[in-house]
Structure formats: C-alpha cells, structure tokens
C-alpha cells in the first residue's frame, strides 16, 4: 500500500491539511449559507401556506357574501313587492275616495242647479203673474177708456 501511496504521490500531511480545510469550509458554508437559506425557504413556505389559507378563507367569505347577496336581493324583492302592493291598495282607496268625493260634488251641484232652476222658474212665474196682472190692468184701463169715450 505504501508503494501505491508513493506511486500516486499522496502526502499524509497535505491530505490531513486539505481534509481540515474542507471540514472548516463545509462548516463555514453550513453556518453562513445553508442555515440562512433553509430558514429563508421555511419562511417562504410558511408565507405560502398562510397565503393559501388566506385565499381559501377569502374564497369562503366570497361564497358567503354571494349567498348573503342572494338572500338580501330576495328579501328586498319581497319587501318591494309588499311596498308596491301597499301602494296599489292605497291608490285604490284614494281613487275610491276621489270618485266618491266627485260623485258627492256632482250630486250637490245637481241639487243646487235644480234648486236654482226652481228659483228661476218661480221668479219667472212671479214675473209672469205680475206681467199678466199689469196687462190685465192695462187691458181693463183701455177697455174703460174706450167705454167712457163712446
């Protein structure tokens, strides 16, 4: 074996120094480069896991919001239908009240017109009676004048 070592030119001291250098360099790289890199990778992994969990929560919240939106829209539609129904009922009542009030005004005006017609008729009859009485008086006067002149 010693012949093999001499043939390849291996020196135990240099081999030992190179081994120590390699171990020191490996330990230094482990401490300075590998540990921070692993910590960074773990931090990123945790961040990604948190991001995925947040995205799932957001998706769940979005589904809940969509469901609530549908419920709110349905409820608003029902409420709107109730309001429209109430407004229609109110409009029908107002319409009936207005028609009733118009009918009452019509009846009152018709009664007033009939009363005024009767009043005018009585006035005309009175005037006619007075005119007839005056004409009779004039006729009698004329007859008396004609009778006294003859």
Mean pLDDT of 24-33: 93
User: Could you give the CA distance from residue 124 to residue 144 in angstroms, rounded to a whole number?
Assistant: 29
- Alpha-carbon torsion (138, 144, 149, 150), positive or negative: positive
* C-alpha triplet 124, 130, 111: angle, nearest 5°: 20
What integer pLDDT is reported at residue 45 of this predicted model?
Answer: 95
**pLDDT per residue over 111-134, tens digit each?**
999 999 999 999 999 989 888 988
Mean pLDDT of 90-113: 95
Residue 78 has pLDDT above 90, yes or no: yes
What integer pLDDT is reported at residue 14 of this predicted model?
Answer: 84
* Structural domain spans, the chain: 2-144
- Quick check: pTM over 0.75? no
SS in 3 state form for 98-109?
HHHHHHHHHHHH
Helix (H, G, I), strand (E, B) or coil at 32: helix
For all residues of the chain together, what is the average pLDDT? 90
């Amino acid at each position: 074996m010693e012949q093999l070592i001499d043939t390849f030119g291996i020196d135990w001291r240099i081999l030992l120094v190179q081994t120590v250098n390699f171990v020191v360099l490996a330990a230094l790289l482990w401490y300075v480069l590998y540990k921070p890199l692993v910590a960074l990778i773990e931090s990123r992994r945790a961040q990604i896991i948190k991001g995925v969990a947040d995205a799932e929560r957001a998706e769940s919240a979005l589904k809940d919001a969509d469901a609530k939106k549908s419920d709110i829209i349905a409820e608003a539609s029902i409420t709107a239908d109730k309001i429209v129904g109430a407004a229609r009922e109110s409009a029908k009542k107002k319409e009936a009240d207005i028609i009733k009030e118009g009918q009452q005004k019509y009846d009152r005006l018709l009664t007033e017109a009939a009363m005024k017609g009767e009043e005018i008729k009585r006035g005309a009859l009175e005037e006619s009676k007075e005119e007839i009485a005056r004409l009779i008086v004039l006729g009698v006067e004329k007859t008396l004048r004609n009778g006294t002149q003859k």
